[in-house]
Chains A and B, each alone.
Chain A
Amino acid sequence: MEKADIPVVKRSLFSWVFPGNAKLQLSLLMVIAVMVFARVVPLEMQKRIVNEAINLRNIDLLLRYCGIYLASVVFFSILKYLTNIIQTIIAQRATGNMRKELYRHILTLPLNFFRNTQPGSVVNSLVGELAMPGNFVGMAVSAPVTNVLTLLAFAAYLFWLNPLLAAVSLSIYPVVAFLVPMLQKGVNRANRKRVDAARTLSSRIAESITGIHEIHGNGAYRIENNKFNRLVNRLEKIRVVWSLYRFAVKTSNGLFVSLGPFIVFILGGYLTIKGQLELGALVAFLSAQERLYDPWKELIEFYQVYQDGTVTYNRTMEFFDVEPDHVIEPHDRAPYDLEPSLDVKDMSFMTDSGIRLLDGISLSLNAGELLALVGFSGSGKSTLALCIGQLYKYTGGHVLIGDKEVSDLTKKDMVHNMGFVAQRPFIFEGTIEDNLLYSCLARADGTDGLPSLDDIIAVLHQTGIFVDVLRFGMNTILTHDQNKELVDVIIRVRENFQRDFGEELSDYVEFFDENQYLFYSSVAENLIFGAPNKDDFMDANLCNNQYFLDFLKQADLTRPLLSLGAELARQTVDILGNLPPDAIFFEQSPIGPDELDEFKLLVERLKRQKLHELSAANQKKLLELGMRFVPGTHKMVALPAILENLILEGRAMFRQKISNDSPEAIAFYDISQYIYSQTILNNIFFGKTTTLNPQAQEKINQSIIQLLIEEDLLETIIQIGMHYEVGTKGDRLSGGQQQKLAIARIFLKQPKLLIMDEATSALDNNSQTRIQKLLETRWRKKSTVISVAHRLDTIKNYDRVAVMKAGKILEIGTYDELMARKGMLYELVGKK
């Protein structure tokens, strides 16, 4: 793009009109030229129909002129539609390009910028505010050209018909052009007042609602009403003035435009009576006069879009008019391969508001050494790590990696050589695999040089997320057409599980026992007690399946389940009604976050209507909800014993019924068969786990890993587990899992300089120790490691330890040296 060198925030709104759209704009101009011509033709035809065809009573001429009239009107409409299409394409393309360019710019802005900027305002700028400027770009050529040309064409035609009449009737427009903007100023003034008054009113309402208990407590209804009424009255007056101005604009514009025909009638009529103007010409004149109004109105509208578009565009671009701290990538060379030694000389970092967060920092580190930064919170250790990693731009002194000054390096140089694990790592929506490869993909610019599966598995082990990924894999439901061989092996694993661990783990598993109610399975699973082979019997379709509904009725289950659904809906909405749709809140809910609004309405309805009065659709929704109820998970409702027994009886009834009517529809739970409706783990157990207790989970994991290794299945399950979707912001992962994933993605990249900012704080002891050992053995000598330490027992084997306080390094040396010195580190260790 030719504009690539000018930052997007410096570009004018007009710069979007032609670049990239030149061909479209040109074709638009051509279409407009033809269109204006097609607009004038009907006027001439009107004149000829009256003067020639009607006057001479010539039917042939009448038909010919009417035909031309019709053709030009149809042609005009087609062209008009065509201009709309081109205009829309240009507008959308411009909006899209503005968004892409601005987003690209925003991502490169310094971290500091985002401390003072709400994500909401970035979203609003990118999504909402650029639409109006985009519309302007779409209209920028077509609207003025079309309307000015049309006005000129009509005016020329009028002059051609009768110069005197044309001059007199067109003399109105300069008056309108002067008067309308004056009135518009009044509109704008009143509008600003209206916005302010409405805002005051809103905050008043918000205040009184927040303090409603005080109003009730004092019985202060009258006082609050008076305050409110005053504001409403003020707003009312402002709105009246605002509306008066608006109508004044509209009316005066209309009035003056209507004066045109008046002048034509009085002057044109006089001229026609005197024989100086033909009747046909008068008709054409009147018609042209009326049609002047449309292009005139469109021009005024265009003027408003231009005003609004420019203001919005400039405000948006000004907001983001901040320079990135560093160049993103080098233009004329490959990224440097840096020698990962570190030399920091008298470095300082000051915030925009002048607070010195780092002062006179000097330290040096040989390639392959380990440095620990320690100190109390706020001592500046994280800030130092961020400055070395080029995430903050230091404001004084030097930081050299190899022999290169960090502030002169491009982002790409840094990313090529450095890996950074943040204190609060961020996980993006997508699969585990997407997130694991995130850093490698960002560095690779393609798929070359991505790690192999063996590398990935090794890193999963090193970071301790292996077991989590294994569990995600184990919790996958296989489809009929997927992994046929796998299914056979899993059946074998099931047998081995029963033999080796069945008894030991029986406390943590609820086995699929035909005679027992399954408290960790849904009502539907309890009733069907098998895997459906037909879609009709899938969970999602059960309540649409008439056969199943008839069965529920026969088993006396319809009403109890309906009422169970209603109670679940009431309780869940009561608890989760005002919470955000985060996965953590919905883990134990039978209602999904996207269904919550629907159920809120239904619960409202339940307050006014009895169950049997609800519509069939609403009853179905509640029945579906009842069918989902898992007593072991959905703790907001208890399962009455009577219903438990009814369902158990129902299970037997259903089995008998379906075996007679359609035996192939369900594959009943059978210890020798794979169950396609259940996860791999449940298949191995032939049941479901009943506990979240970490120790129990650990026991289960160990046994499963042993069984999978025996059958050489571990890698396959890990591969399945890597397709687990982590949810928005990774919210389907725990804090520890997120941190392990963040470390794994950097370990996979194998950077020469590794910076870890309290990177293991959310991990369990074992994972922390494992990672610590790795740094001290595998990474030592190969990479330079800078670790902001949150635990002092982890730093004993570091090559250097720097103790920081209030933005300064107080002491630096090996752990033993500093301890022997009995200085700050000694004190810190003592306190911890």
Chain B
Amino acid sequence: MNSSERNDANPSSELEDNLEILRQTYFFSGLPLETLKVFAYLCTREKFKKDEYIFKQHEEDGRAFYIISGSAILERQDNDTSKKIRDCAEGEFLGGLTLLGEVRRLFSLKAAEDTICLVLEREKFTKAMEQFPNIMPLIFKAVAKNIDFWEERFLADRADMCGECMVNLGVSLI
């Protein structure tokens, strides 16, 4: 951080910026402002240099990421060969499910350039949720809706390209 990064006339705090980001993220956007402020406060920012891994396949890192600046590549390794899945750009939120339970990464995320992420750890998220038990249904609702939306969009856009994978569709039925 240095003074050139800030708007000197009326600098906004990192917490305010974090809050703004969370409000635009499907996972958090339905939550009351008081709760959001706590999550915004518990988030940290991390810098990743080009080619550094943000998370790795098989790891259970328990962290959710929002790409504030830079970009990253989502990869999957099968039988020692690494395949690029897609690019993840600024503004993407990854790892909401890791906040809800222990999930091992099925993919790796590698910084494609110097990248800054907003990070929330499951441990902090869980501790905070204990204080706001009545907002848990809102989060479940958001996650369920998002999974459903994802599959609906997939079916509409790509179902005809699926071929043999067709039998494995239906993630929204879990």
B123 x A635 contact (CB < 8 A) = no
Most buried by B among A585, A635, A637, A640: A635
> Which residues of A have CB within 8 Å of B15?
571, 575, 635-637
> Which residues of A have CB within 8 Å of B53?
695
**B19 → A minimal CB distance (Å):** 10
Known: A588-B41, A641-B3. A765 touches B8 (CB 8 A): no
B76 interfacial contact with A, CB 8 Å: no
A-side residues, CB < 8 A to B, are 507, 517, 519, 571, 574-576, 578-580, 582, 584-585, 588, 631-632, 635-642, 644, 691-695, 734-735, 761-762, 764-765
Q: List 11 A-B contacts (CB under 8 A).
A: A519-B1, A579-B38, A582-B127, A588-B42, A631-B1, A637-B13, A639-B11, A644-B3, A691-B47, A693-B46, A695-B53
> Which residues of B have CB within 8 Å of A636?
13, 15, 41
> A635 vs B43: C-alpha distance in the bound complex, in angstroms?
10
Q: How many residues of B contact A (CB 8 A)?
A: 31
- The residue in chain A whose Cβ has the minimal distance to the Cβ of B127 is A584
A765 x B11 contact (CB < 8 A) = no
B48 x A693 contact (CB < 8 A) = yes
**A541 → B minimal CB distance (Å):** 29
> Which residues of A have CB within 8 Å of B48?
693
- The residue in chain B whose Cβ has the minimal distance to the Cβ of A734 is B123
Chain A residues touching B, majority SS: loop
> A584 vs B38: C-alpha distance in the bound complex, in angstroms?
12
B18 interfacial contact with A, CB 8 Å: yes
**B174 → A minimal CB distance (Å):** 12
B37 x A765 contact (CB < 8 A) = no
B102 interfacial contact with A, CB 8 Å: yes
New contact pairs (16) apart from A640-B8, A644-B3, A693-B48, CB-CB < 8 Å? A517-B3, A575-B15, A575-B41, A576-B41, A579-B131, A585-B128, A588-B42, A636-B13, A636-B15, A637-B13, A638-B11, A638-B14, A640-B11, A691-B47, A762-B102, A764-B61
A585 x B11 contact (CB < 8 A) = no
B12 interfacial contact with A, CB 8 Å: yes
**Which residue of B13, B44, B59, B124 is within 8 Å of A765 (Cβ)?**
B59
A735 x B44 contact (CB < 8 A) = no
A692 x B124 contact (CB < 8 A) = no
- The residue in chain B whose Cβ has the minimal distance to the Cβ of A791 is B104
> A641 vs B6: C-alpha distance in the bound complex, in angstroms?
8
B49 interfacial contact with A, CB 8 Å: yes
**A368 → B minimal CB distance (Å):** 31
**A502 → B minimal CB distance (Å):** 17
A635 x B14 contact (CB < 8 A) = yes
> Which residues of A have CB within 8 Å of B6?
638, 641
- The residue in chain A whose Cβ has the minimal distance to the Cβ of B41 is A575
Q: Which of B40-98 contact A (CB under 8 A)?
A: 41-42, 44, 46-49, 52-53, 58-61
> Which residues of A have CB within 8 Å of B59?
764-765
B3 x A632 contact (CB < 8 A) = no
B13 x A693 contact (CB < 8 A) = no
B123 x A632 contact (CB < 8 A) = no
> Which residues of B have CB within 8 Å of A580?
131
**B173 → A minimal CB distance (Å):** 15
> A735 vs B11: C-alpha distance in the bound complex, in angstroms?
36
A765 x B46 contact (CB < 8 A) = no
Known: A693-B47, A765-B59. A632 touches B37 (CB 8 A): no
> A635 vs B12: C-alpha distance in the bound complex, in angstroms?
10
> A664 vs B71: C-alpha distance in the bound complex, in angstroms?
52
A642 x B8 contact (CB < 8 A) = yes
**Which residue of A585, A588, A635, A642 is within 8 Å of B127 (Cβ)?**
A585
> A794 vs B76: C-alpha distance in the bound complex, in angstroms?
22
**B85 → A minimal CB distance (Å):** 21
> A519 vs B48: C-alpha distance in the bound complex, in angstroms?
19
> A588 vs B8: C-alpha distance in the bound complex, in angstroms?
23
B123 x A735 contact (CB < 8 A) = yes
- The residue in chain A whose Cβ has the minimal distance to the Cβ of B7 is A638
**Which residue of A584, A635, A695, A762 is within 8 Å of B18 (Cβ)?**
A635
Closest 7 interchain pairs by CB? Answer: A638-B11, A635-B14, A641-B8, A641-B3, A638-B13, A636-B15, A693-B46
> A638 vs B61: C-alpha distance in the bound complex, in angstroms?
30
> A65 vs B15: C-alpha distance in the bound complex, in angstroms?
84
**B111 → A minimal CB distance (Å):** 11
> Which residues of A have CB within 8 Å of B14?
635, 638
> Which residues of A have CB within 8 Å of B131?
578-580
> Which residues of B have CB within 8 Å of A578?
131
Q: Which of B1-37 contact A (CB under 8 A)?
A: 1, 3, 6, 8, 11-15, 18, 37
- The residue in chain A whose Cβ has the minimal distance to the Cβ of B131 is A579
- The residue in chain B whose Cβ has the minimal distance to the Cβ of A766 is B59
B13 x A635 contact (CB < 8 A) = yes
Known: A638-B6, A640-B11, A641-B8. A632 touches B1 (CB 8 A): yes
Kindly supply a per-residue 1/0 record for chain B positions 107-131, scoring 1 wherever the CB is within 8 Å of any chain A CB and 0 otherwise.
0000000000000000110011001
> A641 vs B7: C-alpha distance in the bound complex, in angstroms?
9
> Which residues of B have CB within 8 Å of A517?
3
> Which residues of B have CB within 8 Å of A639?
11
> Which residues of B have CB within 8 Å of A574?
37
> Which residues of B have CB within 8 Å of A582?
127
- The residue in chain A whose Cβ has the minimal distance to the Cβ of B114 is A507
**B6 → A minimal CB distance (Å):** 6
Known: A693-B46, A765-B59. A584 touches B1 (CB 8 A): no
